[in-house]
Amino acid sequence: MKLELRGITKRFGSFTANDSIDLVVEPGEIHALLGENGAGKSTLMNTLYGLYAPEEGEILIDDRPVAFSGPGDAVAAGIGMVHQHFMLVPVFTVAESVALGYEPTTKGALLDLGEARRKVTEISARFGFNINPDAVIEDLPVGAQQRVEIIKALSRDAKILILDEPTAVLTPQETDELIEIMRQLKAGGTSIVFITHKLREVRAIADGITVIRRGRVVGEASPESDESELAGLMVGRDVHLTTDKTHPDPGEATFSVRGLTVVDKSESVVVDDVSIDVRRGEILAIAGVDGNGQSELAEAVMGLVEPRSGTISLDGEDLAGRSVKERLRKGIGFVPEDRSTDGVIGSFTISENMILDLYDQAPYASGMSMQPAVVRSEGEKKVGEFDIRLTSIDDPISTLSGGNQQKVVLSRELGRPLRLLVASQPTRGLDVGSIEFVHKRIIAERDSGTPCVIVSTELDEVFNIADRIAVMYRGQVVGIVPAGTPRDVLGLMMAGVPEDEALARVEDGSAATEISASEEDPA
């Protein structure tokens, strides 16, 4: 089935998310839609899927114009979509999830789950998905949940499949499995639109590539294009994809976590007896699939959550009972995972956001009064140092792009002497140019002698800046390995395989085989 978009324009108020976009996907083609977060990729696909109505342009399937008033119309036309955040009900079985919205019935108008089970079994067997139709969604690992979403689309006879950032929550092994599934779908005649910002995956699987930037198509490329060329198209300038750094010269371990356990509001253990040490002049990266306790570990270090047990110490001082403000004053710099919620105050000016943790200290305050002229003057210096693109430093920070907001957070946290840096997902949502800048600043902080803890789900980022890597799985540290550890070994560890076993499996060539059910779901 051929898909063509002509001049698609989608606006939200005065903001143009998609600007006259043209796209052609041939039958049985894997077409990558490449662009950084916020470029307009997902908006375009949501428009194709009937979730949004375009202001201008048309959609053609097999050269015939179509119009969708909702996803049901898109599904009826042979379009399926696997969203970045899965549309599954956690307490439903696989069969119930596949049937939801298109429930098969018996002649007596009763729900026919047997038919749904049959479809799941048939599609699963055809593509080697190994999915039990009676398994409960919340008991399945993320990679299996994604396969359920694909089964759901195929069960409705999708001939065009949209995959929106499908590898964002997968281990490297699960990513390899997904790529093989995409190849099988292509061989069966399915057309695939693959939305991503990951250059490595695009080059591995795509037949054709369309690059969009700020809502507009800026170029077409082939899979033979090198990553630097693709990155340049995405950003609009030359980009260095790897950061130059000297070999680390770490000193003594000044930051220590011992036996740390954290529970969530439901009393489930999310950080389970974690112990780590970080030395001066060293970057320890915490790697793992999102949701395995990394965020809660960072929050516990900052005092945002109270641990159930264990100790956190800096320069030999126990931080138990210390407030967030006290920890900041002791020289801990913190870059939160969600900058818009935890890192900035949208209605405050850019300069005010640069001193959120120093507003009551000299030179920014005198007695009970803030010194606006000093705040502004010091802020202007940081604008130049951190290459923050803005109209006026007196504008609300909400007027800045995500990348520039992140630079404001970094200017605040790195603009004072630190004894420890904790950065959680420091480049999430940033374009490759901003990523390059952030990595340079973190490495410069390491080189000044600061111990750094970086939490990241992006393996490329981990490899780019880490000196050592701690891998977390289901709240536990599976192992701590050198930065040069092979990607396949890290991928197996991210799926819960112990370090020694992961190394052995890679050495004997079994790392590329499918992760067993017991490893995927030890519970």
- Report yes or no: 386 and 351 within 8 Å, Cβ to Cβ: no
Q: Considering only residues 289 and 260, tell me which one the structure prediction assigns the higher pLDDT.
A: 260
Helix axes 113-127, 172-187, angle to 10 degrees: 100
Chain segment 420-429, per-residue pLDDT in tens: 999 998 887 6
Handedness of CA 74, 79, 85, 88 (dihedral sign): positive
Tell me the pLDDT band of 482, cut-offs 50, 70 and 90: very high
pLDDT at 13: 87
To the nearest 10°, report the CA torsion of 154, 155, 159, 164.
Answer: -40
Packed helices 172-187 and 142-155: angle between N→C axes, nearest 10 degrees: 20
Whole-number pLDDT of residue 337: 85
Residue 15 pLDDT: 84
- For 170-182, how does the pLDDT look when each residue is reduced to its tens digit (9 = 90+)? 777 778 888 888 8
239 confidence band (pLDDT: 50, 70, 90): low
pTM over 0.75: no
Its sign, for the CA torsion 107, 111, 112, 118, is positive
Per-residue pLDDT at 120 exceeds 60: yes
Instruction: Identify the CA nearest to 465 among candidates 334, 286, 202.
Output: 286
What local confidence, expressed as pLDDT, does residue 37 receive?
66
51 pLDDT above the threshold of 50: yes
What residue type is assigned to position 215 of the chain? Answer: G
pLDDT at 310 over 80: yes
Determine which helix (DSSP H) or strand (DSSP E) holds 482, and give its type and residue range: strand 476-482
Average pLDDT value for residue range 399-418: 85
Is the model's pLDDT at 521 over the cut of 60?
A: no
β-bridge mates for residue 6, sequence order: 58
Indicate the DSSP class of residue 138. G
Q: What share of the chain is helix, strand, coil (3-state, %, to 5)?
A: 35, 25, 40
| Most confident stretch, 26-30, 402-406, 497-501 | 26-30
Which residues 6+ apart lie within 8 Å of 498 measured at CB? 478, 479
pLDDT of the residue at 431: 65
* 63 pLDDT more than 90: yes
Q: Select from 68, 66, 27 the least CA-distant residue to 46.
A: 68
HSE-up of residue 223 (Cα within 13 Å, Cβ side): 13
| DSSP per-residue string spanning 37-93 | TTSSHHHHHHHHTTSS--SEEEEEETTEEE--SSHHHHHHTTEEEE-SS----TTSB
Q: What local confidence, expressed as pLDDT, does residue 68 receive? A: 93
**pLDDT above 70: residue 512:** no
8 A C-beta contact, residue 471 and residue 479: yes
Banded model confidence at residue 523, pLDDT cuts 50, 70, 90: very low
Res 127: pLDDT: 80
The vertex-208 CA angle with 206 and 29, nearest 5°, equals 70
* Residue-wise DSSP of 115-132: HHHHHHHHHHHHHT----
> Is the model more confident about 415 or about 433?
415
Domains of the chain and any CATH numbers: 3-235 (3.40.50.300), 240-331+417-485 (3.40.50.300), 346-416 (no CATH)
Q: Is the dihedral of CA 518, 520, 522, 523 positive or negative?
A: negative
Give the tens place of pLDDT for each residue, 342-399. Answer: 889 989 999 999 988 888 888 888 888 888 888 898 899 989 888 888 888 999 998 8
Task: Give the model confidence (pLDDT) of 249-265 as tens digits.
Answer: 889 999 999 999 999 88
- How would residue 160 be classed by pLDDT, with cut points 50, 70 and 90? very high
Closest to 438 measured CA to CA, from 451, 424, 418: 424
> Cα separation of 117 and 120, whole Å?
5
Q: CB count, 10 Å around CB of 418?
A: 20
Side chain identity at residue 388, one-letter code:
I
What is the bridge-based pairing of β-strands 253-263 and 269-279?
antiparallel
What's the whole-number average pLDDT of the chain? 87
Q: Where is average pLDDT lowest: 68-82, 136-150, 206-220, 288-302?
A: 136-150
144-156 tens-digit pLDDT: 888 898 898 888 8
CA quadruple 139, 143, 144, 145: dihedral sign: positive
| pLDDT > 70? residue 504 | yes
DSSP for residue 148:
H
Dihedral sign, Cα of residue 256, residue 258, residue 263, residue 269: positive
Tokens representing 257 are: 């976590």
pLDDT of residue 395: 92
- For residue 461, report the phi and psi dihedrals to the nearest 5 degrees: -65, -45
What does the pLDDT average to over 265-284? Answer: 94
User: Can you list the pairs that 458-463 forms with residues at least 24 positions away whose Cβ atoms lie under 8 Å?
Assistant: 458/427, 459/172, 459/287, 459/487, 459/490, 459/491, 460/198, 460/200, 461/285, 461/427, 461/435, 462/285, 462/287, 462/490, 463/487
Lowest mean pLDDT among 8-17, 56-65, 218-227: 218-227
Q: Are 294 and 478 in contact (CB under 8 A)?
A: no
Rounded to whole angstroms, the Cα distance separating 133 from 116 reads 8
Encoding tokens for residue 77?
């036309």
Tell me the torsion sign for CA atoms 237, 243, 315, 456: positive
For residues 265 and 306, the answer to whether their CB atoms sit within 8 Å is: no
The whole-angstrom separation of Cα 256 and Cα 245 is 25
- Least-confidence region, from 61-65, 79-83, 363-367: 363-367
